[in-house]
């Protein structure tokens, strides 16, 4: 099973159950794979319905196509002894299971649209060896040595050294914005790539996240002593999204630039966000989404907030938005930012007359 619960779309919940129960594990057995590999395949195919749902709901095939390529690249290192064409065949068999389930559960226009998006996934799987994505290169060329020092400490599970290194960066004069975005933020993006390529476990990824939060805290004495601008930002992750590092760094950077922040953290549902906006009246609401299956919840959040507070400025960001082929035209947002520093600059410019 995936991560979404589909309370308002029970048919997708039934499809998720069907897919989870009908994996083509016979193909794995024929190739000599045993319980651990079959368990991995079953675990990650559970995400298929999540991403299919997001792609269909947002009417954006890129979400599902990107997922298929991501899944292919996830499987290849684990099944290194299996020829690449067999990995692709396994994926195609999986999507046939999804299609069979859809035909049993959906009907009419809904089924027609669903099969069209499943077809996008099949074509992406068939072409995976040619069109598979490579990890996005680091966006910043500076601080390579600093990032490596910090990453080395994380990979040793040396919390004391990781925290000390972050404090040292500040003492040597590296700007706070650069430490947060270019060193800590970029290192964590690299950690995500290490997990994706099976070089580290998900437990290690979680350790790196918690340690980076601790390292960021070393910057707070500087962050919180800046002159106030009498502007306020609310930062949160949407719905079931638990990857909160982006939202945390956004709040910290706004504080460093003189804004007051209301940081709601992970798992912020619509009713909670509405209550916080009513109580605190922020000038800007910023939402971070890392996993693309939560984009639907994010769009629902944005639409609801704009309906209730039409003058509220709304920003979105996070890796999930790279899986959208279009953002600004279809979302009722004021800005999409690639990182927290870009968003802070936009906000300062937008509210320049009020600061």
Last residue of a domain, one of 158, 185, 220: 220
- Asked if residue 137 is part of any domain, the answer here is no
Same domain, 234 and 116: no
Please report the pLDDT score of residue 241 as a whole number.
83
Nearest 10 degrees: CA dihedral of 301, 304, 308, 310?
A: 80
- Asked if residue 2 is part of any domain, the answer here is no
Q: What 3-state class would DSSP assign to 284?
A: strand
Same domain, 118 and 210: no
Same domain, 214 and 234: no
Q: How many residues does the chain have?
A: 355
Please report the pLDDT score of residue 232 as a whole number.
98
Region 4-15: mean pLDDT is: 87
Same domain, 209 and 242: no
Q: How confident is the model at residue 139 (pLDDT cuts 50, 70, 90)?
A: low
Cα separation of the two ends of the chain = 48
**285 DSSP β-pair partners:** 234, 314
Please report the pLDDT score of residue 188 as a whole number.
93
Same domain, 273 and 321: yes
282 or 202, which is more confident: 282
DSSP 339: S
210 or 32, which is more confident: 210
Last residue of a domain, one of 187, 220, 253: 220
* Integer angstrom CA distances of residue 138 from 75, 176, 190, 284: 24, 19, 8, 28
Is a pLDDT exceeding 70 seen at residue 348? Answer: yes
Is a pLDDT exceeding 60 seen at residue 339? Answer: yes
CATH of the domain at 162: 1.10.1240.10
Distance CA 148, CA 144 (A): 6
Region 294-300: mean pLDDT is: 93
Same domain, 321 and 278: yes
Same domain, 348 and 231: yes
Which residue in this structure is represented by tokens 């937008």? 350
Same domain, 239 and 192: no
In tens, the pLDDT along 41-72 reads: 677 778 899 999 999 999 999 999 999 998 89
Question: Which three-class secondary structure string do you get for 111-144?
Answer: HHHHHHHHHHHHHHHHCHHHHCCCCCCCCCCCCH
Last residue of a domain, one of 220, 241, 261: 220
- Asked if residue 168 is part of any domain, the answer here is yes
Residue (of 263, 188, 274, 270) closest to 220 by Cα position: 263
Please report the pLDDT score of residue 135 as a whole number.
45
Look over the chain and give the mean of its residue pLDDT values, rounded to a whole number: 88
For 206, residues 6+ apart whose C-beta sits below 8 A from its C-beta are none
- Asked if residue 239 is part of any domain, the answer here is yes
Same domain, 237 and 192: no
Region 238-249: mean pLDDT is: 88
Is a pLDDT exceeding 60 seen at residue 36? Answer: no
Is a pLDDT exceeding 80 seen at residue 30? Answer: no
In tens, the pLDDT along 87-115 reads: 888 888 889 999 999 999 999 999 999 99
Domain that holds residue 60: 10-131
Same domain, 277 and 253: yes
Enter the tokens of residue 187.
């290192």
Please report the pLDDT score of residue 45 as a whole number.
78
Please report the pLDDT score of residue 112 as a whole number.
97
- Asked if residue 3 is part of any domain, the answer here is no
Same domain, 230 and 211: no
Q: How many CA atoms lie within 13 A of 17 on its CB side?
A: 9
Distance CA 128, CA 181 (A): 32
Region 197-205: mean pLDDT is: 88
CATH of the domain at 272: 3.40.50.280
Same domain, 20 and 84: yes
Please report the pLDDT score of residue 26 as a whole number.
58
Region 188-193: mean pLDDT is: 90
Distance CA 208, CA 264 (A): 21
- Asked if residue 260 is part of any domain, the answer here is yes
Enter the tokens of residue 340.
């927290």
Express as a percent the part of the chain with pLDDT over 90.
65
Alpha helix stretches (DSSP H) within the chain: 10-21, 25-30, 35-45, 47-57, 61-78, 84-105, 108-126, 128-131, 144-155, 159-171, 176-178, 186-196, 202-217, 220-223, 245-256, 270-280, 295-308, 340-350
- Asked if residue 267 is part of any domain, the answer here is yes
Number of domains in the chain: 3
Please report the pLDDT score of residue 1 as a whole number.
55
Please report the pLDDT score of residue 27 as a whole number.
58
Q: What is the largest CA-CA distance in the chain?
A: 68
**238 DSSP β-pair partners:** 268
Predicted TM-score (pTM) of the model is 0.89
Please report the pLDDT score of residue 306 as a whole number.
95
Please report the pLDDT score of residue 134 as a whole number.
44
- Asked if residue 84 is part of any domain, the answer here is yes
In tens, the pLDDT along 140-165 reads: 568 999 999 999 999 999 999 999 99
Please report the pLDDT score of residue 93 as a whole number.
87
């Amino acid at each position: 099973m995936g991560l979404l619960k589909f309370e308002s779309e029970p048919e997708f919940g039934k499809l998720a159950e069907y897919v989870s129960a009908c994996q083509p594990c016979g193909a794995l057995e024929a190739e000599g794979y045993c319980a651990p590999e079959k368990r991995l395949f079953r675990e990650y195919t559970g995400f298929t319905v999540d991403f299919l749902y997001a792609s269909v709901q947002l009417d954006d095939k890129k979400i599902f196509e990107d997922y298929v390529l991501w899944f292919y690249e996830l499987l290849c290192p684990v099944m290194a002894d299996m020829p690449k064409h067999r990995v692709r065949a396994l994926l195609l068999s999986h999507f046939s299971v999804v299609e069979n389930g859809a035909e049993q559960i959906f009907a009419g226009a809904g089924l027609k649209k669903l099969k069209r998006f499943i077809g996008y996934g099949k074509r992406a799987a068939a072409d995976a060896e040619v069109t598979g994505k490579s990890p996005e290169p680091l966006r910043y060329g500076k601080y390579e040595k600093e990032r490596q020092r910090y990453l080395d400490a994380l990979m040793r599970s040396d919390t004391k050294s990781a925290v000390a290194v972050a404090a040292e960066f500040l003492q040597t004069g590296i700007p706070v914005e650069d430490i947060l975005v270019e060193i800590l933020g970029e290192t964590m993006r690299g950690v995500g790539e290490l997990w994706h390529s099976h070089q580290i476990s998900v437990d290690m990824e979680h350790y790196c996240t918690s340690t980076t939060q601790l390292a960021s805290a070393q910057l707070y004495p500087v962050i919180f002593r800046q002159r106030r601008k009498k502007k306020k930002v609310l930062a949160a992750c949407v719905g079931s999204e638990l990857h909160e590092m982006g939202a945390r760094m956004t709040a910290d950077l706004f504080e460093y630039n003189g804004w007051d922040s209301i940081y709601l953290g992970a798992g912020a549902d619509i009713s909670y966000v509405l209550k916080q906006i009513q109580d605190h009246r922020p000038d800007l609401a910023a939402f971070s989404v890392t996993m693309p299956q939560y984009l639907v919840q994010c769009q629902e959040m944005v639409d609801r907030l704009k309906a209730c507070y039409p003058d509220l400025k709304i920003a979105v960001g996070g890796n999930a938005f790279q899986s959208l082929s279009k953002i600004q035209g279809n979302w009722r947002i004021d800005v999409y930012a690639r990182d927290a520093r870009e968003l802070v600059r936009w906000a300062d410019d937008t509210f320049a007359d009020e600061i």
